[in-house]
Structure 1
Amino acid sequence: MTILRRYLIPIASGGLIAVAWLLGLLPVPPIVADAAMVAAAVVAGTPILRTAGRALLARVVGIDLLVSVAAVGAIVLGEYWEAAAVTFLFAIGHALETATLNRTRSALTALVALAPDVALVLRNNEQLEVPAGSVLTGETVLIKNGARVPVDGTVAQGAGTLDEASITGESLPAEKTVGDRVFAGTISTGGLLQVRATEVGAATTLAHIVHRVEEAQEATAPTQVFMDRFSAWYTPGILVLALVVGLVTGDVFLALTLLVIGCPGALVISIPVAIVAGIGRAAQLGILIKGGEFLETAAKITVVAVDKTGTLTRGRPVLTDVVVLDPALTRAELLDWASRAEAGSEHPLAGAIVQAAAREGSSGLVPLPEHVLNVPGQGIVAGVAGRTVLIGNPALLRAHSIAGTDAAATVAAGLAARGRTPLIVVLDGIIAGVLAVADEVRPDAADMVTRLHAAGVTRVVMLTGDGPLVAQAVGDAVGIDELRSSLLPEDKLDVVAGLRRDGHVVAMVGDGVNDAPALATAHIGIAMGAAGSAVAVETADIALMGDNLLMLPAAIDLARRTVRVMHQNVALALITVALLLAGVLLGGVTMAVGMLVHEASVLIVIVNAMRLLRRPGQRAQLKMLDKSDKSERREMMA
């Protein structure tokens, strides 16, 4: 029904034109066929004339005015077919334009449709189905298999899996247990969850995404601003040209033909349709682009500055090496004693050792030590099952006069040279071995750097507050082009500012909250893993909702493709208008033929922009995302 309403005017006008042609073949007075042609022009031209009048009241001279003047002039001159043809074709073009913009906004429509209308809440130990908008913060919402999550919240009880593709772009369902975050609009694929609502209604992540995409699709890109200025001069120019030609040649019909042929319809739609399609496609991939301005800038990125911790790495330490130096101990025994001692430590590396011991099943539930003494800058001294365990650096060993530290120090130095943090373990005064802990590099980090280079980025710079050895180890593993280590937040800002001064278009990638000065200084600030972070969604120029690093090159590649489509559309529109104007002035191009070619160019521009809604470049990347997700889950389960 909506489609019929959209094409009702061109259908009615086209029907009247067909009737006029039939009447022209019958033995009836010519005035009858002419009347049908005029009626066709009136039906199709009235909305055009109305739009032109509103534009004139706002002191805007647009293409609707050109078409209106040409149609009225043609009727006055008795060229009824030309008047009907130009208004009919323009009406078709307008209907196609509206349909295309609606189609390219389908991503936003799909996002809005994700929000469920009802929620199942627990009130007074009863399950009640209530409107989703009436759920209160702090209430418990039940999420059963197949149901959509109506709120943002935290799992209070139960376990299950959720399809979060609509929010994060991740294609594999995410496992959820007590304490995990869930987002409105995601779909349960198994299990039963009791979720404590933390954000409801317009405060949910989904609502923030919808709001951001709405704003982005309406935002004006620099190229669009230029085209608007161009049109402001072009349209009056065509009017003046037509007037001059009419006065010089005395051919009013030629002047009217120039008005019609000069309508820059394809030019007007060339950029908006590409921007809406590009931003809509990005939203489907879990990439939020703030507006056309940032879409264009992202296409020009030459340098990407990446924060190490939490971006190239997971942001949590893991045990990487276990070196046994006491032949009386096994690996499992060394790890067991170390985990028992670290179970009572407050050091951030302690958790990595305890978790590794639990995974390897060396001690099951790790008992707490009898006592723990933290020695700042050196390590810990713990009492475990009546024995003394020291874990730390060579300074701790020297302070306790431990013999034979040279061998342990050599092993520790070798591990440190590989960017890891070594921890020497001593059991009752005897060196037992050395453990090494490091922040785990994401498995897709190296592939991300490769794909960034393939997307046209010339340099990838890693910024980190860690020391040179750690930075070098991560950089070598990932294939970073340039390393900047031992940086404070203000130092990162200086690096980004320096890259800008050198003439680079810089993108800074972080978590959207930390490193805020550097993110703000870059041409494009990109927030990683922004799902659930309203601050990141609202402040970042581009927000990657998931944690997949391959979304970053996908975003840049999509931006470049969108800008290419914009440039192609503008070139096509300008060339078409120039050739048609030349054809009119030199003879051979009539009003009807010119308008037909003009509308064909509009259709080509639309089809070209619609290509962005397909996923030729992203499909392979998303397959790679699936592989990285699967490998990551296998590692977590191992």
Structure 2
Amino acid sequence: MQQFILGKKNQITVISGILIVLGFFSHFVLHNLGLSQGSLMIASVFGVAPIAIQAYQALKVKVVSIDVLVTIAVIGAFLIQNYEESAIVTFLFLFGHFLEQRTLNQTRSAIKELTDMAPESALRQLANGEFVEVDVDDVDEGDILLVKTGAKVPVDGTILTGEGHINEASITGESVPASKTIDSAVFAGTILENGTIQIRADRVGEDTTFGRIIELVEEAQDSKSEAERFIDKFSKYYTPAVLVLAFVVWMISQNVELAITVLVLGCPGALVIGVPVSNVAGIGNGARNGVLLKGSEVIHDFSRVDTIVFDKTGTLTIGNPEVAEKEIYAENVNEVLGYLASVERESDHPLAKAVLTNIGTTTFSTVEETEVVKGGGIVAKVNGHRIAVGNVALMEKENVKLSKKAQADVKRFEQNGNSLVLTAVDGNLQVLMGIRDQIRPGVKNDLEGLRKLGVKNLVVLSGDNQGTVDLVARELGLTDAHGHMLPEDKSAHIEKLQKEGQIVAFVGDGVNDSPSLALADIGIAMGSGTDVAIETSDVVLMNSDFSRLPHALGLTKATAANMKQNIIIALGVVVVLVASLFFSDWMNMSIGMLVHEGSILVVIFNAMRLLKFRLKGNRNNVKTGVKEIVTAK
């Protein structure tokens, strides 16, 4: 019976409202006092039923909830034959709950949109080459799948054939479709806007990026922040305190109606709902914009960060070395570059790949007598010429003389933070290349955005040489830079900063970053990083989009401020109502309950502003064409 009544709460609200209208119509129009009081009495009984059941369930687990206060107040008003007050209070309480649930569902819509985007079926290739539609849960790793125009990509995978443009907004928050070709990675839940592709399933089910996003967001919703834990403790003592206050008021004044009114006015409805709804709205905004916030505790801590420490490679830089500077000393340039490319094609070293990419299309020759010189480079024979490719130490070993210009170039390249690749043909230096990782486009503006949000220290820690790290730090205007850092050195430096009283966030993407991500007050992982890095982090920037970092920090600051605003609104309303009761003549139960329900909607709508939060000036707004909206403090 209890579950039946609670399940019909909305219908009871409607019936109660109709009976109240009938009661007042009978009183003021029909002048039928009996019908009026009868209607209001029935409305009171109907309305109090679900509230009393919830109060009873709360008392069974030793919790004195808001429902207890309202139930006592309504029963008291009914006993003193104040049927108008008892009927109106129950209706407003139930109607307020209806509006509260409806608006709360809107704040959770960002999360629901994610789950609705989850693919349900896939076209899997059979042994005979045909494709049949199967449930996405039946897809295994290694299966070949067909994705047609307009369809959702069912799993994380790699394109084997075909090309097209994929809308990855569900993963990255980026509305501009990404161009995909053979060997490109694709993600479950994204949409192929044009083209037809065949993919190999690399991750399926809950292991897909999309599945992990939903799991992390759902876990985040269930977590509690410091503010929520405060509210829980506060409510535990607050509700009994209101009961005691009402009893004291009755003992002193002998006025039952006044005591009952104190119970109604003391209901902390907005206080209980205000913080959780801010938390859900903030996490929902992050999920829509490519930022995973793993819980409301993360929101609280991240909003207070004053120092951000970065790994260099793959975080501040792209992670793919490129030829940044080049000097040619040879007269027969194309021939020498062909020799160089032929030798480098024998190696899988990242620097060799950078050299080949820079040279591009050329004529390859047969390479013979290849010798790998440990810590130096490669020496080989090409078309009868002795080719040496490597660093300065290899040139010295090969007795290659460097001219004054070449020596000056080497020094300049090193000062610019380059790794050097020198090429000699038959003992003569022909080519000098400086290779370095490229800084991510727009990172400097993003770092400036972090400073504007109150971050005082921006630090880079890297295993790379100090010269390269210093170059990156100078170019980006970082506060501090340290090179030659092993994973344990990074962790030790973070501990040192924390002991100095700084609240530290660490941004990284590799397995070697995991200790630092776990140790920092807030660990921030790039979404394309390793699984270990993502699992040990508190915040994930999907698709490794660095521009999401200022948005994430701005969002957490706005959410934390929103929680405080809602607490102030809720407590302020209670104080004003109670003060009005004792120091004015116009306050009564009905007005008090109406103001209470209004305050609940105010804190909910205040929190819902977070769903439209956009950080002013963030380059990502320009890129996606989203109108800039500031809904922060």
* TM-score normalized with structure 2 length: 0.94
- Alpha carbons of 1:274 and 1:353: their partners in 2 closer, same or farther (altered >3 Å)? same
Aligned partner (choices 583, 596, 609) of residue 586 of structure 1: 583
The 1-side partners of 2:9 and 2:191 are apart by 34
The 2-side partners of 1:553 and 1:267 are apart by 30
8 Å CA contact retained: 1:324, 1:334 = no
- Structure 1 stretch displaced more, 28-37 or 432-441: 28-37
Aligned partner (choices 596, 599, 602) of residue 601 of structure 1: 599
Aligned partner (choices 306, 315, 340) of residue 310 of structure 2: 306
Aligned partner (choices 329, 343, 346) of residue 345 of structure 2: 343
Secondary structure at the aligned position of 1:138 is classed as coil
- For 2:525, the equivalent position in structure 1 comes to 527
The 1-side partners of 2:366 and 2:218 are apart by 54
Aligned partner (choices 248, 251, 258) of residue 252 of structure 2: 248
The 2-side partners of 1:621 and 1:213 are apart by 25
Aligned partner (choices 555, 558, 563) of residue 561 of structure 1: 558
- For 1:570, the equivalent position in structure 2 comes to 567
State the 1:27 CA deviation: 4.1
State the 1:513 CA deviation: 3.1
Secondary structure at the aligned position of 2:179 is classed as strand
- Tell me whether 1:515 sits opposite 2:518 in the alignment: no
The 2-side partners of 1:5 and 1:114 are apart by 31
Deviations along 1:340-369, whole A, 9 cap, x unmatched? 2212234331110011111xx4x06x4452
Aligned partner (choices 278, 289, 292) of residue 288 of structure 1: 292
- For 1:163, the equivalent position in structure 2 comes to 167
State the 1:161 CA deviation: 2.5
The 2-side partners of 1:249 and 1:36 are apart by 31
Secondary structure at the aligned position of 1:162 is classed as strand
- Tell me whether 1:269 sits opposite 2:273 in the alignment: yes
8 Å CA contact retained: 2:70, 2:263 = yes
Amino acid at match of 1:481: T
- Alpha carbons of 1:126 and 1:224: their partners in 2 closer, same or farther (altered >3 Å)? same
State the 1:193 CA deviation: 1.4
- For 1:631, the equivalent position in structure 2 comes to none
The 1-side partners of 2:59 and 2:528 are apart by 45
State the 1:547 CA deviation: 1.7
Secondary structure at the aligned position of 1:515 is classed as helix
Amino acid at match of 1:483: A
Deviations along 1:135-155, whole A, 9 cap, x unmatched? 233221100111101122222
- Structure 1 stretch displaced more, 286-295 or 539-548: 539-548
8 Å CA contact retained: 2:526, 2:534 = no
8 Å CA contact retained: 2:342, 2:365 = yes
Deviations along 1:160-188, whole A, 9 cap, x unmatched? 22211101223322233333322211110
Q: Mapping of 1:60-71 within 5 angstroms?
A: 60-71=63-74
The 2-side partners of 1:551 and 1:6 are apart by 42
- For 1:399, the equivalent position in structure 2 comes to 397
- For 2:546, the equivalent position in structure 1 comes to 549
Question: How many residues of Structure 1 are paired with residues of Structure 2 in the alignment?
Answer: 617
8 Å CA contact retained: 1:208, 1:537 = no
Secondary structure at the aligned position of 2:49 is classed as helix
State the 1:378 CA deviation: 2.2
State the 1:506 CA deviation: 0.7
- Alpha carbons of 1:127 and 1:420: their partners in 2 closer, same or farther (altered >3 Å)? same
Amino acid at match of 1:599: E
8 Å CA contact retained: 1:343, 1:369 = no
8 Å CA contact retained: 2:550, 2:615 = no
The 1-side partners of 2:473 and 2:166 are apart by 34
- Tell me whether 1:388 sits opposite 2:379 in the alignment: no
- For 2:84, the equivalent position in structure 1 comes to 81
The 2-side partners of 1:181 and 1:324 are apart by 37
Unaligned runs of at least 5 residues, structure 2: 1-6, 626-633
* TM-score normalized with structure 1 length: 0.93
Amino acid at match of 1:44: G
- Structure 1 stretch displaced more, 274-283 or 101-110: 101-110
Secondary structure at the aligned position of 1:238 is classed as helix
Secondary structure at the aligned position of 2:544 is classed as coil
- Alpha carbons of 1:367 and 1:83: their partners in 2 closer, same or farther (altered >3 Å)? farther
CA RMSD of aligned residues (A): 2.0
Deviations along 1:33-52, whole A, 9 cap, x unmatched? 11211222233322111111
Amino acid at match of 2:552: A
- Structure 1 stretch displaced more, 337-346 or 617-626: 617-626
- Structure 1 stretch displaced more, 585-594 or 416-425: 585-594
- For 1:237, the equivalent position in structure 2 comes to 241
- Structure 1 stretch displaced more, 296-305 or 94-103: 94-103
